[in-house]
Amino acid sequence: MTYRLNDKVTQLTPYEPGTGEFSIRLDANESFLQIPEHILEEMKDSIEKIAFNRYPDPLATECLQAFANVHNLNADHVTAGNGSDELISVIVGGLFQKGDKLLLVDPDFSMYAFYAHVAELEVVRLSKSKDYIIDPEDLVETALQNNCRGILFSNPCNPTSQGMPREDLIRVLDRLPDTLVIADEAYMDFWDQSVMDLVEEYPQLLVLRTCSKAFGAAALRLGFAVAGPMITTAIRSLKSPYNVNSLTQAAATALLRHPQCLKKGLAKILASRDELYGRLQELKDSSLNQQLKIEYLLKPKTNFVLVRFHDNVEIYDMLKDKGILVRCFPRFMRITAGSPEENRALLQTLMNYAEGLI
């Protein structure tokens, strides 16, 4: 007899992000902005004060307070995680039991189903509309009919760039008082429909946030779970004692103490996104679209644009050959808003392709 893996992991394969050397990376929804030099200096000063022979603060107290101050929250309602992925893993694995039903929407962030599979949950899926909108009534009815223990979705959505308005989510919460509703707001900094302020009013609500998108700190791998006292206590009990390292805590605290600087950066990202969307719309409406064949383009609520070409794979491969990496899905393409120079290079490459110059 030899050792064998259990059935739930034998078919799994490692997650493979885009790899290789590319002059322009528009595939991972990262910020194109570097953290300002004066904040980097504060980060360095904070890191130099770390006692490296000691474990980190298990509750990331200063970091939580800095995050809470940015969003006008009670820090007692926030838990820090080693990226939102760790928090999703802890939540799905700990707040549900084997065999519980978890409602996911399609399409959405692929890792939700992965963590549900590992936790041995039963996944119930609800397809979005043709415009990738979640109908709140359909969501509620599907949850009730299938006796779902929880609902998990990104809002705004990765990868569709669309979202559920605050008032619709409140209707869902009102209808499902005994269902855990997990709203992953990783991209909510680019929209204005957050429900983070409602976690005391709705004890079944859990909101996830990240520093990886609008704050330009993907390298820190820092996420936050915002919830009322009951769920917060549970998550803090489930997580590893020292899950966020001291370097991340120190650097993030320094960064989050500059909300006005963060807002200025956010404004630049939004301007880039709007410019990218507008130029793609112009291409769609132009004679060049006879060759490009853009079939649809959605107005985004995130830092990326969703577009569908008649042949996504051909366009993706062409861009890749020219050193531009985007994210290709079976039904559409996701393009992160880059710097003005990166956006221009992408658009010029698409025009050159349409004009037969490539």
**pLDDT tens sequence across 73-109:** 999 999 999 999 999 999 999 999 999 999 999 999 9
| Average pLDDT value for residue range 267-281 | 98
**Chain center to CA of 155:** 8
Answer yes or no: is 23 within a domain: yes
Answer yes or no: is 1 within a domain: no
Percent of the chain with pLDDT over 90: 94
How far is Cα 133 from Cα 298, in angstroms, rounded to an integer? 11
> Would you say 312 and 328 are in contact if contact means Cβ atoms under 8 Å apart?
yes
Q: What is the pLDDT of residue 21?
A: 83
Q: Which residues, in sequence order, are CB contacts of 25 under 8 Å at separation 6+?
A: 18, 325, 336
Q: What is the pLDDT of residue 11?
A: 82
Q: For all residues of the chain together, what is the average pLDDT?
A: 96
CA dihedral 304, 308, 309, 314 (to 10 degrees): 70
Statement to judge: residues 103 and 241 lie in one domain: yes
Q: What is the pLDDT of residue 155?
A: 98
Q: Is it the case that residue 271 has pLDDT exceeding 80?
A: yes
Q: What is the pLDDT of residue 7?
A: 86
Candidate from 5-9, 64-68, 252-256 with smallest mean pLDDT: 5-9
63-81 pLDDT per residue, tens = 999 999 999 999 999 999 9
Residue at a domain's end among 228, 257, 286: 257
Looking at the DSSP bridge assignments, the partners of residue 123 are: 102
Handedness of CA 235, 239, 242, 244 (dihedral sign): negative
Statement to judge: residues 235 and 286 lie in one domain: no
How far is Cα 87 from Cα 222, in angstroms, rounded to an integer? 10
Statement to judge: residues 21 and 159 lie in one domain: no
Statement to judge: residues 99 and 19 lie in one domain: no
How far is Cα 210 from Cα 207, in angstroms, rounded to an integer? 10
Statement to judge: residues 93 and 189 lie in one domain: yes
How far is Cα 344 from Cα 348, in angstroms, rounded to an integer? 6
Statement to judge: residues 18 and 162 lie in one domain: no
Q: What is the pLDDT of residue 12?
A: 84
Q: Is it the case that residue 357 has pLDDT exceeding 90?
A: no
Q: Is it the case that residue 178 has pLDDT exceeding 90?
A: yes
Statement to judge: residues 52 and 69 lie in one domain: yes
Q: Sorting pLDDT into bands at 50, 70 and 90, what band is 16?
A: confident
Work out how many domains the chain is built from and give that number.
Answer: 2
Statement to judge: residues 51 and 144 lie in one domain: yes
Nearest CA to 105 out of 147, 134, 84, 143 is that of 134
Answer yes or no: is 147 within a domain: yes
Residue type, 306: L
How far is Cα 33 from Cα 138, in angstroms, rounded to an integer? 39
Query: How many other CB atoms are found less than 10 A from the CB of residue 18?
Result: 14
How far is Cα 272 from Cα 267, in angstroms, rounded to an integer? 9
Answer yes or no: is 196 within a domain: yes
Instruction: Tell me the CATH number at 129.
Output: 3.40.640.10
Statement to judge: residues 166 and 22 lie in one domain: no
How far is Cα 297 from Cα 127, in angstroms, rounded to an integer? 19
How far is Cα 179 from Cα 102, in angstroms, rounded to an integer? 10
The range of the structural domain enclosing residue 284 comes to 7-30+261-354
State pTM to two decimals: 0.95
Q: What is the pLDDT of residue 358?
A: 83
Answer yes or no: is 181 within a domain: yes
| Average pLDDT value for residue range 123-146 | 96
Q: What is the pLDDT of residue 183?
A: 98
Q: Is it the case that residue 308 has pLDDT exceeding 90?
A: yes
Pairing of strands 205-210, 180-184: parallel
> Would you say 166 and 194 are in contact if contact means Cβ atoms under 8 Å apart?
yes
Statement to judge: residues 176 and 212 lie in one domain: yes
Q: Sorting pLDDT into bands at 50, 70 and 90, what band is 338?
A: very high
Pairing of strands 78-81, 205-210: unpaired
Phi and psi torsions of 160, nearest 5°: -85, -20
| Average pLDDT value for residue range 301-310 | 98
